[in-house]
Amino acid sequence: MITDPNIERYMYDLLPARDEVLTEIEAYAAEHKIPIIGPAVGRLLAALVLTTRAKRIFELGSAIGYSTIWLARAAGPQAEVHYSDGSADNAERARDYFNRAGVASRIHVHVGDALTELAAEPGTFDLVFNDVDKDGYPAVLDAVPDRIKSGGLFVTDNTLWHGSVLEPREQSDHAVCLFNQRLFASPHFFVTQVPIRDGVSIGVRL
């Protein structure tokens, strides 16, 4: 764990209960070992959307749609939120959750390579959320700067990667380390990193 387990437990105990759909997704993800951002990071994403009034959002790597629901609810009924995942099964399950959560009309579902799907969409976005396979993080950083409006946000999950950034061994560890170094050195973003759950980096597009 990134933070002291007692502090982590305290933080999570403070969180309000989620509704039926989010609670079901959390249980399904735990049972089937599907990584999701969890409620603490979900609330952070929602706070960023509410603060910036982001309406056009692209999510790179959306799994079963847990984070997508947090983003779509915070962005409101006029939002345009793009879900993307390489698994058709994940997308099918996510669609069901979107319908039940009452946000399906504001979500565009893409099945396939996340960066390919992003490239096919015109224009810029208010917020891009990056949660693809970790080996792909450096490629995401190459692709996104021109796709985010000035003042928009580039948010990335897992940037402390279970602490493996301290002693990288696997290819994914090195990819996250490289991404972090390049992100903080990027002339395109003002970046901060939050040690919540598995680490979240937030870059403001300059």
How far is it, in rounded angstroms, from Cα 61 to Cα 176? Answer: 15
How far is it, in rounded angstroms, from Cα 127 to Cα 91? Answer: 21
How far is it, in rounded angstroms, from Cα 144 to Cα 175? Answer: 17
Structure-token pair, residue 198? 């598995």
Quick count: other Cβ atoms within 10 Å of Cβ 98?
22
Query: Do 187 and 206 touch, CB atoms closer than 8 A?
Result: yes
Quick count: other Cβ atoms within 10 Å of Cβ 62?
30
Average pLDDT, consecutive stretches of 10 residues, N- to C-terminus, the chain (206 residues): 91 97 98 98 98 98 98 98 98 98 98 98 98 98 98 98 96 98 98 97 98
Count: domains in the chain? 1
Give me the phi and psi of 203, to 5 degrees please.
-115, 125
pLDDT in tens, 32-68: 999 999 999 999 999 999 999 999 999 999 999 999 9
Q: Helix crossing, 88-101 with 20-32: angle to 10°?
A: 160
What pLDDT was estimated at residue 63?
Answer: 98
How far is it, in rounded angstroms, from Cα 177 to Cα 180? Answer: 5
pTM greater than the 0.95 cutoff = yes
Query: Do 57 and 79 touch, CB atoms closer than 8 A?
Result: yes
Query: Do 8 and 40 touch, CB atoms closer than 8 A?
Result: no
What pLDDT was estimated at residue 69?
Answer: 98
What pLDDT was estimated at residue 2?
Answer: 87
Domain that holds residue 171: 5-205
* Residues sharing a CB contact under 8 Å with residue 186, sequence separation 6 or more, in sequence order: 141, 145, 203
Q: Which residues make beta-bridge pairs with 130?
A: 60, 156
CA distances 105 to 79, 80, 84, 95, 136, Å, are 9, 9, 16, 10, 29
Query: Do 94 and 109 touch, CB atoms closer than 8 A?
Result: yes
How far is it, in rounded angstroms, from Cα 127 to Cα 4? Answer: 30
- CATH code, domain with 61: 3.40.50.150
